[in-house]
Amino acid sequence: MFHALSARIDAILCDAFQALNLPIIHARAAPCSRPELADFQCNGAMPAAKAVGRMPRDIAEAVATRLSTHAAFSEVSMAGPGFINMRLAPSLLAEAAAELLGDLRLGIEDVGQGRLVVIDFGGPNVAKPLHVGHLRSLVIGESLRRLLHAQGWRVIADAHLGDWGLQMGMLTSALRLRDPQLPWFISSFEGPWPDTAPVTLSELERLYPEAAAACRNDPERMAQARADTAALQAGDLGLLALWRSLRALSLQAQQRDFASLGAHFDLLLGESDAQSIIPAMIDDLRTRGMAEESDGALVIDVAQPNDRHDVPPLLLSKQDGAALYATTDLATLVPRVKQMQAACVIYVVDQRQALHFEQVFRAAEKAGFKDGVQLEHVGFGTVNGPDGKPYKTRQGGVARLADLLDEAVAKAAERMAQSGHGAGFSEEEKHQLARKVGIAAVKFADLSGDRLSGYIFDPDRLVSFEGRTGPYLQYACVRIQSIQHKAKDHGVPVGLAMPEARTERELLLACLAFPDAVAEAARQRQPGVLAEYAFELAQRFSRFYAECPVLAAERAEQRAARLAICHLTGLLLARSLNLLGIDVPERM
């Protein structure tokens, strides 16, 4: 089994603490906050001293003395109020790096052990094109899908399409108004109904906002929409056939956007798929006394005595019995838990829906649907415009996802022309490269930092070959590959040796931090942790490469060792980008 560097050091610290009769829970090391002083530091002497009633500096001194004879360290010292600073022995770095390179999983721990996690992300609504609000769910969700899969989980990604409810009735009633003679609306029509929708995609995308506005302004139109919704939900065959054709039409376009972003789904189920179990679920909840009447509606009280904020009851059904968002989410959980046997269900949805998920999770617990399954809402902040408010188009409308990506791709093409990337490519190759670069830029910006904070979408800044950007990382990857390519004539790299130069050992240390970066990113459901790691790794590679000639190294074994470091860095950088869902071009 592979041991992450931090785990190896913790084990050594543990032995030392134990030998000195100190509580081993404090025997923990972390990368040193000041790398110029040490590689790792342990702050455990302070709490350990408190526990045994001695002076922190004495404890730190004793631990440091003990550790300094250990082969893993080249230097151990005590500093400040009782910090233990450790410099790792070059032999340990070389040995650990060789082990990492030889491990097929690149040190990624098998956390999932074959358990199932369902990731619910994307969640677009039928008839609406994907907009900027879907970007983060798709990008963060896809990265979590890859991270958890790499950690040994079985993963089912489900798009949970918003394909049911009033919006569908709004559409069908608007179509009926336009053309009552369509076969779907004729009660005596016996089918088969046409498979294709009576509108094109762009007509559909225009129709929906029109219909929604009409319903808002005209009670008559709203009544028609409600009537259609009720008829559809009651199983009207014509309306169902029409609904199916509209769903398929809009899904086609949505799948194109999923593909642009490289988001993969195992299931394209939707709200409609949960409807058949809702009546029985409601009956059951009512008989078991979980659901109660309130102002003519049926609700589940989910407030808890220690609530610091108000958690209103979950609305199960209104007077007219129409399906509700929360009811559908509750019902969708049943097959995920019972049939699929998920151990964990993760919802990657805008943080503004936090209360909704709180209500659903509590209701699931109360109703006994949870069955030990871990339910998590992985929220995220909004994509903002330059004014710091949710991003809008210049006309003030909601920005389409495809337009947003196109804007980034156009910027990428412009930057490529300025910087000489893609020089000598055919027009088609340039176009392909600009797409990869532009989309990587958007994805990296979206994944960076804490997912709960929003960020400003500024193509000028995020599409750059310099700094903390997707294109910078892509280029770092391509550069390493090209070094390796050129090295082919020099024979195969024989193996990692002890680092000589400072930048070389710092690069090795960064390589060795990969397993921990993946583990943390997955544990916190924060791909940003891995994004930051990848950036740091690429930077350390640049510094190493600037200082240490690789192909032109003085000695043959030095060249071989440095090539091996390039190889390891290349693997780890490529794997990091892959786990973030960022494609790397072959050349750029």
Per CB under 6 A, residues contacting ligand ARG are 120, 123, 125, 160, 162, 329, 347, 349
DSSP for 538-581, written as a single string: HHHHHHHHHHS-STT-SSHHHHHHHHHHHHHHHHHHHHHHHHHT
Nearer to ligand ARG, 123 or 459 (CB): 123
Task: Output the smallest distance, CB 125 to ligand ARG, in A.
Answer: 5
User: Whose Cβ is closer to ligand ARG: residue 30's or residue 354's?
Assistant: 354
CB 49 within 8 A of CB 17: no
Q: Closest separation between CB of residue 329 and ligand ARG, Å?
A: 5
What does the block give as tokens for 450?
């804490």
Closest approach, Cβ 127 to ligand ARG, in A, equals: 12
- Choice between 349 and 496, CB closer to ligand ARG: 349
What span, in angstroms and rounded, lies between the C-alpha atoms of 98 and 227?
Answer: 68
Min dist CB 277 to ligand ARG, Å, is 15
Of 141 and 471, CB closest to ligand ARG: 141
How many helices (H) does the chain have, and how many strands (E)?
20, 13
Least spacing, CB of residue 120 vs ligand ARG, in Å: 5
Is 472 within 8 Å of 464 (Cβ atoms)? Answer: yes
To ligand ARG, the closest distance from the beta carbon of 168 in angstroms equals 13
| Residue keyed to tokens 């964990």 | 344
CB 364 within 8 A of CB 511: no
Please provide the distance, in angstroms rounded to a whole number, between the alpha carbons at the two ends of the chain.
37
CB closer to ligand ARG, 349 vs 588? 349
Q: Using CA atoms in the order 151, 152, 153, 157, what is the torsion angle rounded to 10 degrees?
A: 70
**In the complex, residue closest to ligand ARG by CB:** 123
Question: Which C-beta is closer to ligand ARG: that of 379 or that of 422?
Answer: 379
Could you tell me how far CA 566 lies from the centroid of its own chain? 28
In the complex with ligand ARG, which residue's Cβ is closer, 123 or 313? Answer: 123
Find residue 73's DSSP bridge partners.
Answer: 88
The β-bridge partners of 267 are: 158
**Residues with Cβ within 8 Å of residue 53, at least 6 apart in sequence:** none
Count of residues in the chain: 588
Say how far apart CA 459 and CA 45 lie, in whole Å. Answer: 48
Residue 565 C-beta: closest distance to ligand ARG, Å: 44
* CB neighbours of residue 429 within 10 Å: 15
CB of 71 to ligand ARG, least distance (A): 53
Alpha-helical regions (H) of 261-372: 278-287, 325-338, 354-367
**Between 376 and 536, whose beta carbon lies closer to ligand ARG?**
376
Among residues 123 and 379, whose Cβ is nearest to ligand ARG?
123
The CA radius of gyration of the chain, in Å to the nearest whole number, is 29
- For residue 489, the 8-state DSSP code is G
Query: Closest approach of Cβ 408 to ligand ARG, in Å?
Result: 23
Q: Please say which residue, 82 or 162, places its beta carbon nearer to ligand ARG.
A: 162
The residue (of 61 and 350) whose beta carbon lies closer to ligand ARG is 350
Asked if 378 contacts 144 with a C-beta cutoff of 8 angstroms, the reply is: yes
- The rounded distance, in Å, linking the Cα atoms of 133 and 308 is 29
Q: Rounded to an integer, what distance in angstroms lies between the CA atom of residue 581 and that of residue 588?
A: 18
- Report which secondary-structure segment, H or E, holds 12: helix 5-19
Query: Smallest gap, in angstroms, from Cβ of residue 475 to ligand ARG?
Result: 35
CB of 318 to ligand ARG, least distance (A): 18
